[in-house]
Amino acid sequence: MNGLGGLNKSEHGVGIGLVQLQLPTVVTRDDLARQTEVIVAMVAKARRNQGTMDLVVFPEYALHGLSMDINPEIMCRLDGPEVAAFKKACRDNSIWGCFSIMEFNPDGMPYNSGLIIDDQGDLKLYYRKMHPWVPVEPWEPGNLGIPVIDGPKGAKLALIICHDGMFPEMARECAYKGAEIMIRTAGYTAPIRDSWKFTNQSNAFCNLMVTANVCMCGSDGTFDSMGEGMICNFDGAIIAHGTSGRVNEIITAEVRPDLVREARLGWGVENNIYQFGHRGYVAVAGGAGDAPYSYMHDLVAGQYRLPWEAEVKVTDGTSCGFEKPVRTYGKTFKLAGE
């Protein structure tokens, strides 16, 4: 089902390219503008590289690097020049693109946001990272939920970002809302390599869903990102994997959302996305449709608490140099005099 990396694309296939982008250092507005140009050039490279490619995916932090700099001068806006450049690049090259921005937030810390733009240059998906990688990342928790859109060839697409993929509930939500392909962009560094691999596979298998995943690549002189572009089929098998660690390599494959749909309808054994809500349907008509999981009820009630909660040692970002927050979720910054 790989079609020689997508070179031989079938009638119902979707060609995906994962860009293992060189990790940049971005400090100033000029740096941001230069990195925007790098990404735009890579969109054009993806199109030249493979005429059958439908979607090119850039990693988290492709624009800003891994400094965790929250300087408002280099934060982006949806109506800013960086997003405009990405839209033009997709339109000029007739290709869908997935991009990462650190988004200015007037009411709190910046958002870590992901965008999917279609081949006409229109913004189709806008997502804010729900699970920042604490205690390392300072980003505001996302508040838009997980959108699912009609992508190339009508494939249902969802996007999550990096640490989101370590929570099985995130992939399950994508699939529950209909996603056939889940994109996971990341800036992970080498110590996460094994966890990255098995979560990408389990997210696919547990939800009968293709996962397309890519990290930043190379070094910025401080951090070493790993690339590891990886496309997993809906049975959990890896069908493309960038193991060389070569910067700016584009990992490609054809995926078949039509076969995802076929499996979700036809599988009996291990149709887990269906069976989760129909427990034991052999024994009881339609299966049990209850929610027997304490953590779900407690979370909805605002009472999520682990048995060892009081003993957890890292509960803020002070170990990574961030001040302890005083603002609660959903509240805005107070200006002086308010």
Active centre residues (catalytic): 60, 129, 162
Rounded CA-CA distance 50/95 in Å is 11
Rounded CA-CA distance 3/239 in Å is 10
Phi first, then psi: give them for residue 6, nearest 5 degrees: 95, 0
CB atoms closer than 10 angstroms to residue 198: 10
Pairing of strands 217-219, 156-161: unpaired
Q: How far is CA 106 from each of CA 45, 54, 64, 76, 118, rounded to the nearest angstrom?
A: 35, 35, 19, 12, 28
Query: Is 209 in contact with 171 (CB distance < 8 Å)?
Result: yes
Reference 24, options 58, 52, 71, 72; nearest CA is 58
Rounded CA-CA distance 41/107 in Å is 34
Rounded CA-CA distance 85/115 in Å is 13
Q: How far is CA 72 from each of CA 43, 108, 242, 303, rounded to the nearest angstrom?
A: 26, 11, 34, 35
Query: Is 112 in contact with 137 (CB distance < 8 Å)?
Result: yes
Residue 254 is classified by DSSP as E
Rounded CA-CA distance 294/164 in Å is 21
CB atoms closer than 10 angstroms to residue 234: 27
CA dihedral 82, 215, 247, 13 (to 10 degrees): -90
Q: What is the SS3 assignment for 212?
A: strand
